[in-house]
Structure 1
Amino acid sequence: MSQTLLPNIIDFIARIDPFDQLPAQLQQGIAQTVRISYLGQGESLPFDIDAQERYLYIVRTGALEQRMSNGVLRAKLGPDDLFGFTFLASTPGNPADCYNVTAIDDTLLYQIPHSKLKQLLHEHPQYANLFAAQARERLQSALNVVWSDNDKGLFMRRVSEIHSGKIAVVDENMSIQQVAREMRLNCRSSTAVVMAAGELVGLITDRDMTKRVIAEGFDITRPIREVMTPNPVTIHPDDLVLKAASLMMQHNIRGLPIVRDHQVLGLLTTSHLVHNHRVQAIFLIEKIKYCESIEALSALTVERQAIFEALVEGNVPGENIGQVMALIMDAYCHRLLQMGETLYGPPPCDYVWLTAGSQARNEVHMFSDQDNAIIMADEATEQDRHYFLQLAKLVVEGLDSCGYPLCSGNYMASVHKWCQPLRIWQAYYHKWVTNPEYDKLLNASVFLELRALHGNKELCNQLQQHLYSLIAQHPVFLRALTRDSIATQPPLGIFKNLVLEKNGHDTPVLNIKRYALTLIIDLARIYGMAAGCTQTGTEERFLYAHQHQVLSEESYKNIIGAYRFVLRIRYLHQLNALKQGLQPNNLIRPDQFGSFERKHLKDAFRIIGDLQDFAKLRFIKE
């Protein structure tokens, strides 16, 4: 290798995980062993099982796909991705895990000889787990750290903190040539968003220009709408960068327009997502995408647990933990729905898969159960419903196999009642809101948080608009909801020998969900709806209510502080259970609390009780 290339290779390796965790001297030593190879599009990488030398590969530029010997897709790889770990555990003539690699674009590879890497790991065994043949071991190694505020990484930040404001905004009727000029000369942006009547309708990148215009000899005087990508995926500026990265992988895209209230604020691209941040949820989501069976999905549960443990041990904010775990649960749902549609054929009519409860609020924890439903288009037939019930059964049972328990109240899409056309769902809400008796109120409370996950999301939008309209017209519903929520009081006397519940061993326990978290979630729902909030998250609802003068600043700050503290107590309890090999739950023995926890739990319970009193005065007209 030419010594003139060495500085560039060292600089590149130093920012790629796991090499970024090695000292500079070892990074330089590895860089000196690198061999450079090139694969043209369609070329395969020759793997000789009898070869005396094998390699760890880094994709410098281009794209590859890995397929198992039976043709099943193993993974798709792009710039900065590594492969060849499994061959570290193999010996000539006895491959550990045989697969074929083919370039799907022209590809430049860096090759690190296994012999050199093994020598380095033998001399420095403290780094061996970083290059373990099993992905699970590499993941665990990366997660066996406590993240400080600086180490939580890029993916825990908001999109608004890192995006670029440089993006070309063009009209759908502009010519291809005009748009290219705008991108190059005026904005110096590789991407343009295409607008029509003030709405975002498309996206075009410089790579699209190359593939769809230049390569095809397309007339550059034609309007840009003829070559743009329509209905592009977008991201909100307040979303986590982790969510943006997940969307990029899910849809195989390299850029996301950042949109708030139909206004394009900027662009987030893959170049913004540096690779030396070790939030492993992204890699788990990628693995989920390529699983071909429920058994393979279920096998990833241990990695999901490792991520949860690392987030809690790293003191990552509870809101972010819930969002990360919700992204993972969403990925399981997406993959199971894809498997079902492959098995049973394409859907016979429009539908949308809905999540409810903690998943809809993006507040998933390690033992969240599943609440879901299906809305079918109004023209759906009884035969169509049979298809969707079959699909739902596969997804619901698959989620259960992956560690998301069945809903004890049977609020699941596989239940006939919760797999209905839009008109029936609208009738449900009309009955619940206009006549909020106890059983109807219970049903309504489960489905007051909905999030469209898969399918025609407009069906969900129509249902939610119907719900908000009904709530505005029938204040009796909010009063009934408030009465129901304040019927349970926080245990202000819990540490004065008051026994709230007993577990199976007749031991006094505090149900942190029933007597704290559920009360806070209920209050957020009430205050949010009173303010007209359409968001589903607990903190989002309180913030919206505060911003719209429904909740005072003092009450807002108090309840948010209480919520975050109680959430942290719950996460730590779940973490301790997992560490002991026990099934996590919400039941905590009061004698497990120290003076610090006792003091702050008392404060949290008092804050919850105060807000319940305020809600009673504000929303219940005696």
Structure 2
Amino acid sequence: MTPAPETLFQFLSAIHPYDAMEHAALQSMIPAFDVRRFDAGAQVYALGQQLDGLFIVFEGDVEIRDEHDVPISLLGPRNSFGERGLLRQGQSVTSARAVTDSTLLILPADIFHKAMAEVPAFRKFFDRSRVERPQKTDLATTRVEELMATSPVTCPLDTDVQTAARQMREARVSSICVAEGGRLRGIATIRDLSGKVVGDGLPFDTPIRRVMTPDPVTLPPSAIGSDVLHMMMERRIGHVPVEQAGKLVGIVTQTDLTRFQAVSSAELVSEIAHSNTAEDMAKVTARIPQLLAQLVAGGNRHEVITRLITDIADTATRRLLALAEASLGPAPVPYLWLACGSQGRQEQTGVSDQDNCLFLDDSVTDADQPYFEALARFVCDGLDTCGYVYCPGDMMASNPRWRQPVKVWRDYFASWIKTPNPEAQMLASVMFDLRPIGGTVALFENLQAETLAKASANSIFVAHMVSNSLKHTPPLGLLRGFATIRSGEHKNHIDLKHNGVVPVVDLGRIYALQGQLTQANTAARLEAAMAAGILSASGGQDLRDAYDLIAETRLDHQAAQVRAGDAPDNFLSPTSLSDFERSHLRDAFVVIKSMQSAVGHGRGMLS
């Protein structure tokens, strides 16, 4: 029996986005709906079929399957489906089958597209593309290429200090870059000239190379303004040259930053960089949750927020390394401290433990080991004091296993790739997210490229890594809702980290492995994978949109907890969300499950 128009109006009035429409507009839409009945087991539409409209379940149950015929959703009354196909040339990207006798409402494609164009609530609900948050013009959202002076004053190495000073005076700048063949060799500032030339009474024909700071730290044009400010605060410098592909392309000074309001993260970085004990640093890191809440309230995107928070951990680590060396003396051989996990990916939130390791130069001897044991213990204990609690799996430099010469690390990776048992898969997953924090970066560069090449060429290892990446699944329940935690402290909640963010992190790592991509950050991996053709533009955009929504929901949840005076965590009650938010979050989980299915079936994998 076909529902009466009044019945359809009442039904749709209780469903978003129809409940946001003017009553007259919804009344005029009612006659356009086609009512169709499907017996249990009947196919509603096939994969790749041209769709003639948007489907809404009025009665019954409908199962949605992906392109590999894997069930991804079971929908009941009030649920919509088919919109992704309508938004992509009208061809279905899934298949649908009635599980029970079902009655479906079909809104014709032309009416659907008309509503998308004319009804904001309709467009907001069905358009899954990335929603840009309102942003302020500040250092957290401004790229260095927009801040830098593109024609820095330069001079050769043999220029005398008087000539260099005249160049600076004529250009009305406070520094001069010393370059050779377009490559930066050093930088000299007004302070260098006054302190080293005038203060030490050097003759005016002294070559600039004698007073310059050689091989200064630099940033790429793609860095953000906060990177500049944090570097200035930590290193107590006022000028940061900008290099791209080894060439000097600009410079950013403190003057360039004065028109911007410094983000609060810079204050924390500065205070940590000037702290003399881990206890002093802990007073600063205790303010991270409040910083997170402020950044979320300011409309910053999740990748900006996690980057700024990770910068604080990086600074704390480097400061502890400096304090360790001040206490223990200079290191007997070169070393490199690296972070893995969320810090390695620059994805820390208000809840983070520590994951780190230590690479030692191959010249290290047994007699040197006590020094590095003491250094690692100093830093790991200090990080724990600062709130970055010890890794539950003991994956820290304080564990001798993760404090080894480069040749041992090379053997580690080689053995994991050759024999990908469960432990090897887990360890490789963690170690592929390594990022240098402090020390001699050269100890890692060759090993990273070498390991990626060997790993991607070993099809058995890749297959095991793919299998390992599918162990974290989205919290999708078979009966339309979410698969919440069944017992314990977090009963009836979903884990936004392990069942939301981590599945995308794992997929991003697989794409990086396929393409030998050196990026550690998940968003950067997805973008690089799309650029390299490893991930299709449509699938990659869907996955990026899903990741954005889940990551931002996680930060919104943590920020709300901080504002309520609670400690932030990753456990969200779906009942705290509106119907609109639950629908979009569930759709995001469906996208992730579909992408996991694609990877699991070998689509796009290297042979």
- Settle same-fold status: TM greater than 0.5: yes
Residues in 1 aligned to 2:481 and 2:422: alpha-carbon distance in whole angstroms: 32
Specify the alignment match of 2:258 in structure 1.
274
Of structures 1 and 2, the larger Rg is shown by: 2
| 1:162 equivalent in structure 2 | 147
Q: 1:326 aligns with which of 299, 303, 310?
A: 310
Q: Structure 2 counterpart of 1:462, which letter?
A: N
Where in structure 2 are the equivalents of 1:84-95 lying within 5 Å?
A: none
TM-fit CA distance, 1:597: 1.6
Q: Does 1:507 align with 2:491?
A: yes
SS at match of 1:200: strand
Matched-pair contact (CA < 8 Å) for 1:166–1:189: no
- After the TM superposition, list the runs of 4 or more consecutive aligned residues in structure 1 that deviate by more than 6 angstroms: none
Distance (whole Å) between structure 2 residues aligned to residue 472 and residue 483 of structure 1: 15
Matches of 1:621 and 1:267, distance apart in 2: 42
Looking at structure 2, the residues matched to 554 and 480 of structure 1 have their Cα atoms a distance apart, in angstroms, of 26
Say which of 181, 184, 200 aligns to 1:200. 184
8 Å Cα contact 2:182-2:248 kept in structure 1: no
Offset of residue 302 of structure 1? 3.5
Q: Are the counterparts in 2 of residues 482 and 620 from structure 1 also a CA contact under 8 Å?
A: no
Query: 2:339, 2:434 within 8 Å by CA — same for their partners in 1?
Result: yes
Residue 312 of structure 1, CA deviation: 1.7
Q: Structure 1 pair 561/383, CA: closer, same or farther in 2 (3 Å)?
A: same
Give RMSD over aligned pairs.
2.5
| Mapped partners of 2:501, 2:135: distance in 1 | 29
Q: Residue 350 of structure 1 contacts residue 456 of structure 1 at CA under 8 Å; is this kept in 2?
A: yes
Identify the residue that residue 448 of structure 1 maps to in structure 2.
Answer: 432
Counterpart Cα distance in 1 of 2:275 and 2:386 = 12
Q: Which one-letter code corresponds to 1:599 in the other structure?
A: S
Q: Say which is worse superposed, 448-457 or 215-224, in terms of deviation.
A: 215-224
- For residues 197 and 329 of structure 2, what CA distance do their matches in structure 1 show? 35
Separation in 2, partners of 1:184, 1:166: 15
1:352 paired residue among 328, 331, 336:
336
Aligned with residue 138 of structure 2, among 153, 174, 180: 153
- Counting only pairs closer than 5 Å after superposition, residues 461-472 of structure 1 correspond to structure 2 as 461-472=445-456
Deviations 1:536-584 (A, max 9, x none): 1111111111222222222222222111110111112222333344333
Q: After TM superposition, give the deviation of residue 253 of structure 1 in Å.
A: 1.1
Q: Where does structure 1 lack aligned partners over 5 or more consecutive residues?
A: 1-147
Aligned counterpart, 1:373: 357
Q: 2:413 aligns with which of 409, 424, 429?
A: 429
Alpha-carbon shift at residue 521 of structure 1 (Å): 0.8
Aligned partner of 1:162: which letter?
L
Residue 172 of structure 1 aligns to which amino acid in structure 2? L
CA 1:167–1:496: 2 relative to 1, 3 Å: same
Out of 254, 263, 287, the residue aligned to residue 247 of structure 2 is 263
Give me the whole-angstrom Cα distance separating, in 2, the residues matched to 1:429 and 1:440. 9
**In structure 2, what is the equivalent of residue 392 of structure 1?**
376
Q: Distance in 2 between matches of 1:180 and 1:614?
A: 62
Displacement of 1:447 = 1.0
Name the counterpart of 2:550: 566
Q: State the 1:420 CA deviation.
A: 0.6
Within 1, Cα distance between the matches of 2:346 and 2:475? Answer: 27
Q: Of 275, 278, 291, which residue of structure 2 is paired with 1:291? A: 275
**1:334 to 1:444, Cα distance in 2 relative to 1, 3 A:** same
Shift of 1:177: 5.4
Check the 8 A contact 1:202/1:228 in 2, yes or no: yes
Higher mean alpha-carbon deviation, 192-201 vs 477-486, is at: 192-201
Report how far residue 378 of structure 1 moved. 1.1
Alpha-carbon contact 1:355-1:371 (below 8 Å) kept: yes
Among 289, 293, 297, the residue aligned to 1:313: 297
Find the counterpart in structure 2 of residue 552 from structure 1: 536
Runs of at least 5 residues in structure 2 that lack an aligned partner in the other structure: 1-132
Residue 417 of structure 1, CA deviation: 0.2
- Bigger drift between 332-341 and 470-479 goes to 470-479
User: Greater RCO between the two (CA within 8 Å, min separation 6)?
Assistant: 2
**Contact 1:411/1:418, CA 8 A, preserved across alignment:** yes
Whether contact under 8 Å (1:154, 1:241) holds in the other structure is yes
Question: 1:191-215 CA deviation, whole Å, 9 max, x = no partner?
Answer: 3333345532212234433433455
Query: What is the match of residue 336 of structure 1?
Result: 320
Cα distance in 1, alignment partners of residues 270 and 524 from structure 2: 28
What is the aligned counterpart of 2:367 among 368, 383, 405? 383
Deviation at 1:278, TM superposition (A): 5.0
CA contact (8 A) 1:479 1:619 kept: no
After alignment, is 470-479 or 372-381 more displaced? Answer: 470-479
Contact 2:429–2:509 under 8 Å retained in 1 = no
Is the CA contact 1:495–1:598 (under 8 Å) kept in the aligned structure 2? no
> Contact (CA 8 Å) 1:375, 1:459: kept in 2 or not?
yes
Equivalent-residue separation in structure 1 for 2:462 and 2:243 (angstroms): 32
Q: Do the aligned residues in 2 keep the contact of 1:374 with 1:419 (CA within 8 Å)?
A: yes
Evaluate the alpha carbon distance shift between residue 235 and residue 588 of structure 1 in structure 2; reply closer, same or farther with a 3 A threshold.
same
CA distance in 2, matches of 1:363, 1:494: 31
Q: Report the CA distance shift for 1:209/1:545 in structure 2 as closer, same or farther (over 3 A).
A: same
Q: Aligned partners of 1:471 and 1:195: how far apart in 2?
A: 39
Match of 1:19 in 2: none
How far residue 599 of structure 1 moved from its aligned partner, in angstroms, is: 1.1
The structural deviation recorded for 1:343 is: 2.4
Alpha carbons 1:385, 1:419 under 8 Å: kept = no
- CA–CA distance in structure 2, aligned partners of residues 208 and 581 of structure 1: 48
Cα separation, partners in 2 of 1:423 and 1:196, compared to 1, 3 Å? farther
Out of 556, 569, 580, the position equivalent to 1:585 is 569
Cα distance in 1 for residues equivalent to 2:216 and 2:312: 23
Deviations 1:333-358 (A, max 9, x none): 12222222222222222111111111
**What is the deviation of 1:621?**
7.2
Tell me the SS of whatever aligns to 1:583. Answer: coil
Q: Point out the more displaced range, 526-535 or 314-323.
A: 526-535
How far apart are 1:152 and its partner, in Å? 5.6
Distance of 2:479 and 2:563 partners within structure 1: 26
Q: Decide whether aligned partners of structure 1 residues 339 and 174 sit closer, same or farther in structure 2, where only a CA change above 3 A counts.
A: closer
TM-score normalised by the chain length of structure 2: 0.73
Amino acid at match of 1:526: I
> 2:103 aligns to what?
none
Residues 475-494 of structure 1 deviation map (CA, whole Å, 9 limit, x = unaligned):
43333212221244323337
**Could you tell me whether the CA contact under 8 Å between 1:490 and 1:609 is conserved in 2?**
yes
CA 241–384 in structure 1, closer or farther in 2 if over 3 Å, else same: same
What fraction of aligned residue pairs are identical, expressed as a percent?
31
| Superposition map of 1:18-37 within 5 A | none
DSSP-derived class of the 1:501 partner? coil
**Distance 1:434-1:175 versus aligned 2 partners, 3 A rule:** farther
Distance 1:295 1:221 in 2: 49
